[in-house]
Structure 1
Amino acid sequence: MKTTLCLLLATLLAAPLAEAQTPPDADALIRQLKPATTRGLRNLNIQAAPAAPAAAPAVLASPAAPSVAPGVTAATPQAAAPATPAQPDSAALPAPAPVAATPAANPAVEAAPAAPSVSLAIQFEYNSASVSQVSYQTLQQLSRALQSPELLDYRFRIEGHTDAKGQAAYNRKLSQSRADEVRRVLMTLGVAGERLSSIGLGASQLALPSQPYAAENRRVRIVNLAP
């Protein structure tokens, strides 16, 4: 009986530890950090085509005055009843100019998709920037993903995030130190330093705003800085 209880207790204690030590798959990280194939269309502007310019109306030339030879007196024309001007043929009238469509005040612009990113629950020593040993496997998988042919041409930003416990200034400083440490570890694993930048955001961008003290807010986010 005692042996059975000990085995059960050992199983319950080992289960969360095994789950915490399971690193994400490098291929899954590549899929999450790789830009979408349609990303190049994000700045496409959709505007109304410009209207064709209206045709200029034909200008009728004034009739030339009759010329009179020198020394010849021009005959005074007899007054005659004014002739009724002939009604022009409707087919000969120029077609009315098309009315230009008024362009929309705000042309439709395709919204830019969110930058590819992934949030990792990197564990650190308590109140420290030192990466816990159980998270090194996660960073090893991340380094493999960042050095893969699919992601080798991109740069990445490492964001440190905390929950809302404590002072905002302290949280921002701690998150910066942890982001710097993740960058350092990735560099030791072979990722070129010029491809990585780091920033500490503290609790300014909570993953769960409705639960500011939740553990999900304590994370490291990797953002692809693809143009």
Structure 2
Amino acid sequence: MMPTFLRAALLVCGAWLPFAALAQPPAIPAPPAAAPPAAGPDAEERQIIERLTRGIRVPGRPGNEGTTGGAPAAPQGEAGKAPGEEEPPSVNLTVFFPTGSARITPQAADALAALGRALNREELRPFRFRVEGHTDTEGDAQMNQMLSERRALAVREHLIEKFGIAPQRLLAQGMGESRLLIPTPDNFPEPRNRRVQIVNLGG
């Protein structure tokens, strides 16, 4: 048998506990962590942006005080060209593919990473671009043409899938060995000619 005084003490404690729980202050949830500020473009992205907007007035850039509105002014003259320029703004990237293949390797993905980020920046978002595939002169010219087309398409799909670039902003075109960056004779392996060129087509 439980002593009377012990039973009474337990009854008092049992009656007091609900009131003690009610007296506890409600837990205050911790404030949500502030989202980190969006990082600005790194040096490689800035270089790509500069090259792809060369001669085009972009708001906020020194020397463009006459530009108004929230979007870059449309290029004057031919799409992507500024007056007096022979070629539209473009940038060359050396993208490494396995021999005879259009597969995007980890090295190729690394080479395209800054480009993908740059194309999503405010300065480049209003524009469309041509993704050109180029080869060196090693091998048959017709095969090189077909290979360059496959590689240009592979780069376009990579930019769409990995960086969310709108498909209508990117046009793929294979150039084969028709526009060599470094002039070479036939059947000459020149890595600098195995490249991808991104050309600004305007808005």
**TM-score of the superposed pair, with normalisation by structure 1:** 0.56
| Alignment partner of 1:117 is 2:136 | no
Q: Which deviates more from structure 2 when the two are superposed, residues 127-136 or residues 194-203?
A: 127-136
Matched, 1:32 2:51: yes
CA distance in 1, matches of 2:104, 2:89: 24
Structure 2 counterpart SS, 1:124: coil
| Conserved 8 A contact 1:172-1:203 | yes
Residues 162, 183 of structure 1: CA spacing in aligned structure 2 closer, same or farther, 3 A cutoff?
A: same
Shift of 1:175: 0.3
The percentage of aligned residue pairs carrying the same residue is 37
Alpha-carbon separation, structure 2, partners of 1:163 and 1:24: 29
Aligned to 2:192: 216
In 2 relative to 1, CA 224–37 (structure 1 residues): closer, same or farther, beyond 3 Å?
closer
C-alpha distance after superposition, 1:135-155 (max 9, x if no partner): 212212111111100000000
Alignment counterpart, residue 132 of structure 1, candidates 105, 109, 126: 105
Cα separation, 1, equivalents of 2:191 and 2:43: 18
Can you give the 5+ residue segments of structure 2 that lack an aligned partner in the other structure? 1-41, 58-73
CA shift for structure 1 position 211: 5.4
Matches within 5 A, 1:137-176: 137-176=110-149
Write the deviation string for residues 105-159 of structure 1: whole angstroms up to 9, x where unpaired. Answer: xxxxx64442000110001122100012112122121111111000000000000
Aligned to 2:172: 198
CA RMSD across the alignment: 2.3
1: distance between equivalents of 2:95 and 2:122? 25
TM-score normalised by structure 2 residue count:
0.62
Q: How many residues align?
A: 139
* Contact residue 24 and residue 141 of structure 1 kept, 8 A: no
CA pair 41-187 structure 1, distance change in 2 beyond 3 A: closer
Instruction: Report if aligned partners of 2:75, 2:202 keep a CA contact under 8 Å in 1.
Output: no
| Runs of at least 5 residues in structure 1 that lack an aligned partner in the other structure | 1-22, 44-109
Is the Cα contact below 8 Å between 1:207 and 1:217 reproduced in 2? yes
How many Å separate the matches in 1 of 2:134 and 2:154?
13
Give a deviation string over 1:7-52, Cα, whole Å, max 9, x none. xxxxxxxxxxxxxxxx971111111111414685558xxxxxxxxx
